[in-house]
Chain A
Amino acid sequence: MTGPAILLLLAGLGAIAWVSARARAMRLQTAARASGRRDAVHSLPGYHGWYVALWTLVPAGIFLAVWANVAPGLVTESVLSSPAAQSLPADDFSRSAILGEARAIAVGAQAGAFNPLSQGLVEPYKDAIGKYGMAGATLAIVLAFAGGAYAFTRVRPDFRTRTRVERLVMATLLIASLLAIITTLGIVASLLWESFRFFSMVSPIDFLFGIKWSPQSAALGYGNDDAFGAVPLFWGTIFIGAIIAMIVAIPLGLMSAIYLTQYASPTVRKWMKPTLEMLAGVPTVVYGYFAALTIAPALRDFAVKIGIHGASSESALAAGLVMGVMIIPFVSSMADDSIAAVPQSMRDGSLAMGATTSETISRVLIPAALPGVVGGVLLAVSRAIGETMIVVMAAGLAANLTLNPFASVTTVTTQIVQLLTGDQEFDSAKTLAAFALGLVLFIVTLLLNIVALRVVKKYREAYE
Chain B
Amino acid sequence: MTAMIHEQHNMTPTVETKMTARDVKVFYGEKQAIKGVSIDVDMDNVTAFIGPSGCGKSTFLRTLNRMNDTVASARVEGTITLDGEDIYAPSMDVVQLRARVGMVFQKPNPFPKSIYENIAYGPRIHGLAHGKADLEVIVEKSLRRAGLWDEVKDRLHDSGTALSGGQQQRLCIGRAIAVEPEVILMDEPCSALDPIATAKIEELIHELRGRYAIVIVTHNMQQAARVSQRTAFFHLGELVEYGVTSDIFTNPRQERTKDYITGRYG
Which residue of chain B has the shortest Cβ distance to A265 in the bound complex? B72
Give the segment of B107-115, B200-208, B216-224 that binds chain A: B107-115
Alpha-carbon distance between A364 and B110 when the two chains are bound, in angstroms: 10
Whether A354 contacts B179 by the Cβ 8 Å rule is: yes
Say if the beta carbon of B122 comes within 8 Å of chain A.
yes
User: Which single member of B65, B72, B111 contacts A350 (CB below 8 Å)?
Assistant: B111
Say if the beta carbon of B103 comes within 8 Å of chain A.
yes
Whether A353 contacts B72 by the Cβ 8 Å rule is: no
Whether A354 contacts B67 by the Cβ 8 Å rule is: no
Whether A352 contacts B67 by the Cβ 8 Å rule is: yes
User: Which single member of B95, B98, B102, B107 contacts A345 (CB below 8 Å)?
Assistant: B107
Give the segment of A95-103, A143-151, A355-363, A377-385 that binds chain B: A355-363
Residue interface mask B101-132, A partner, CB < 8 A = 1: 01101010111110000000110011000000
Q: Return A362 CB to nearest CB of chain B, in Å.
A: 10
Dominant secondary structure at the A interface: helix
Whether A353 contacts B98 by the Cβ 8 Å rule is: yes
Whether A367 contacts B112 by the Cβ 8 Å rule is: yes
Whether B98 contacts A363 by the Cβ 8 Å rule is: no
Say if the beta carbon of A223 comes within 8 Å of chain B.
no
Say if the beta carbon of A301 comes within 8 Å of chain B.
no
The interface residues of chain B lying within 8 Å CB-to-CB of A351 are 67, 70, 98
Whether A348 contacts B70 by the Cβ 8 Å rule is: yes
Say if the beta carbon of A368 comes within 8 Å of chain B.
yes
Say if the beta carbon of B213 comes within 8 Å of chain A.
no
Q: Return A363 CB to nearest CB of chain B, in Å.
A: 7
Whether B109 contacts A348 by the Cβ 8 Å rule is: yes
Q: Return B220 CB to nearest CB of chain A, in Å.
A: 21
Whether A349 contacts B112 by the Cβ 8 Å rule is: no
Alpha-carbon distance between A347 and B71 when the two chains are bound, in angstroms: 12
Alpha-carbon distance between A264 and B238 when the two chains are bound, in angstroms: 34
Residue interface mask B51-75, A partner, CB < 8 A = 1: 0000000000000010100101000
A350-B70 in contact given A364-B111, A368-B112 (Cβ < 8 Å): no
Q: Return B184 CB to nearest CB of chain A, in Å.
A: 10
Whether B107 contacts A353 by the Cβ 8 Å rule is: no
Whether A349 contacts B109 by the Cβ 8 Å rule is: yes
Alpha-carbon distance between A397 and B107 when the two chains are bound, in angstroms: 59
A355-B95 in contact given A348-B105, A349-B105 (Cβ < 8 Å): yes
Whether B99 contacts A353 by the Cβ 8 Å rule is: yes
Whether B125 contacts A359 by the Cβ 8 Å rule is: yes
For chain A, residues 302 to 346, give those with C-beta under 8 angstroms from any C-beta of chain B: 343, 345-346
In the complex, number of A-B residue pairs with CB atoms less than 8 Å apart: 64
Say if the beta carbon of B176 comes within 8 Å of chain A.
yes
The interface residues of chain A lying within 8 Å CB-to-CB of B99 are 353-354
Alpha-carbon distance between A359 and B125 when the two chains are bound, in angstroms: 8
Alpha-carbon distance between A363 and B67 when the two chains are bound, in angstroms: 19
For chain A, residues 244 to 279, give those with C-beta under 8 angstroms from any C-beta of chain B: 265
The interface residues of chain A lying within 8 Å CB-to-CB of B96 are 354
The interface residues of chain B lying within 8 Å CB-to-CB of A355 are 95, 121-122, 125
Whether A348 contacts B122 by the Cβ 8 Å rule is: no
Q: Return B125 CB to nearest CB of chain A, in Å.
A: 5
Q: Return B52 CB to nearest CB of chain A, in Å.
A: 23
Q: Return A321 CB to nearest CB of chain B, in Å.
A: 35
Residue interface mask A49-76, B partner, CB < 8 A = 1: 0000000000000000000000000000
The interface residues of chain B lying within 8 Å CB-to-CB of A368 are 111-112
Whether B95 contacts A356 by the Cβ 8 Å rule is: yes
Whether B172 contacts A349 by the Cβ 8 Å rule is: yes
Q: Return B51 CB to nearest CB of chain A, in Å.
A: 22
Q: Return B190 CB to nearest CB of chain A, in Å.
A: 16
The interface residues of chain A lying within 8 Å CB-to-CB of B103 are 352
The interface residues of chain A lying within 8 Å CB-to-CB of B170 are none
Q: Return B165 CB to nearest CB of chain A, in Å.
A: 13
A354-B122 in contact given A349-B105, A349-B109, A367-B113 (Cβ < 8 Å): yes
The interface residues of chain B lying within 8 Å CB-to-CB of A462 are 112
The interface residues of chain A lying within 8 Å CB-to-CB of B172 are 349
Alpha-carbon distance between A359 and B99 when the two chains are bound, in angstroms: 14
Q: Return A341 CB to nearest CB of chain B, in Å.
A: 12
Whether A353 contacts B109 by the Cβ 8 Å rule is: no
Q: Return A344 CB to nearest CB of chain B, in Å.
A: 9
Alpha-carbon distance between A368 and B176 when the two chains are bound, in angstroms: 20
A353-B176 in contact given A345-B105, A345-B107, A363-B125 (Cβ < 8 Å): yes
The interface residues of chain B lying within 8 Å CB-to-CB of A364 are 111
Say if the beta carbon of B175 comes within 8 Å of chain A.
yes
The interface residues of chain B lying within 8 Å CB-to-CB of A359 are 125
Whether A352 contacts B65 by the Cβ 8 Å rule is: yes
The interface residues of chain A lying within 8 Å CB-to-CB of B110 are 349
Whether A349 contacts B111 by the Cβ 8 Å rule is: yes
For chain B, residues 150 to 188, give those with C-beta under 8 angstroms from any C-beta of chain A: 172, 175-176, 179
Most chain-B CB neighbours within 10 Å: which of A347, A351, A354, A367? A354
14 additional contacts, CB 8 Å, given A349-B172, A352-B103?
A345-B105, A348-B67, A348-B105, A349-B111, A349-B175, A351-B67, A353-B102, A353-B179, A354-B97, A355-B122, A356-B95, A359-B125, A367-B112, A368-B111
Which A residues have a C-beta under 8 Å from some C-beta of B? 265, 343, 345-356, 359, 363-364, 367-368, 462
A–B complex contacts, Cβ < 8 Å, 8 sampled: A347-B70, A349-B105, A351-B98, A352-B102, A354-B122, A354-B179, A363-B125, A367-B111
Q: Which 9 A-B pairs have the closest CB atoms?
A: A354-B99, A354-B98, A352-B103, A345-B109, A349-B109, A353-B122, A354-B95, A368-B112, A355-B125
